[in-house]
Structure 1
């Protein structure tokens, strides 16, 4: 009976039907059938165009259909199956914007004293790809750093002008220097070598003032009677030299001397009487 309804609904030329139909041992005239009261099972319409859940990369695409061809009615069965169909979809890679990784530990440019410390980072978390933007900002960060004072080794300053230990003759001249260019500091080494340098020096001869030598033994001018005795000395202990002063005083010293009487002719004469 249902097959007949389907056939009758599809007829576009026949406007009038005659005869009877028998179903389940029951005969009914065709003119008495009310088709509108028959159950109509639903049927799916066409699938919609599939759409992907993303605009790039991997996603899920889905399409839909509606149970409207025809819509079930008069107790007809609903459409069998799902109104939604899903599957994977893969589009072009999505743009990935770069992001900075972590900063490295800062390192100072010197091991002592003042310097510059720097740290670095890389645009790799993630790396930009598929037209994504690069990281914004600098990959290097710098700042001042100050460590303990650097050891400074001492160095000698200039020698002083040498001075001789004497103003004339032979002596020792010396000169000095100081470990101050720079002064050792912060554990730096002291200067190597001596702070004093000595050598011989020879100036013009020193003036030597003369001095008397010993007196000679005095001798009397006569061998008997009264006379004059004299003694001598020489300016040779030392001899004056190099402009030194001569000896002061006389080189001769005289005094009376009296010896035993001279043997005579029985006549005693004074020495100052001249006999003719």
Structure 2
């Protein structure tokens, strides 16, 4: 696999030496078609980076997986099919009681590209200003061939450019270069970067992410302390990361199950008892 040093982005010439499996990109991030319980499926895809060099890859370029394994709230069944509610890394999730193989098995190779093979650039980060090139955006990439034992050359792993270089309507019009009014949309020109390559990204105010406290919002079952309490929280400001719903470890509800539901009056270890003159499920 021949790639002249320093020409990472150029299509290399075909050579007789090829990695046994080829060199794949990472799997793409899935977009799930459902919200919980493993009911949804997502299609992962990847690209054979060594194919332009005449070195095809072995294995599938796409695969379907179950996704969004957080248990569903009542009245929907918590998990689909053979999945069951379990705990993984201290998180309540839907798990399947079998061992599933890894989606990627990489075999190291001694037949390496001269400069390595890079993943595609990731998306640009958000821009904190809306015009004038007054702030910068950054994108990154990783060396796809490194897990195969083939490091990449010293080409940059990140790239930072002024973003949103359309001229501002108020003064100053440009933080970078000078305004060019001959274009259809006035832009800020300068010698530091090519305007055509400068990112135009979403403007996002740098507001700290703040979640509300968790609050109870229902149960994953209808009786017998057979379910778990559902908790919710709300993003109060900024861009919050993480789940807005979760199942706590508190069992619920306390009313015994009626005859005909196919379950005991109270789920183990709970037993029926009386409190305040009412029959309910209790855990001693």
Q: Quickly name the TM-score band, shorter chain normalised.
A: under 0.3
Largest Rg, 1 or 2: 1
Higher RCO, 1 vs 2 (CA within 8 Å, ≥6 residues apart): 2
* Alignment TM-score, normalising by the size of structure 1: 0.19
* Alignment TM-score, normalising by the size of structure 2: 0.18
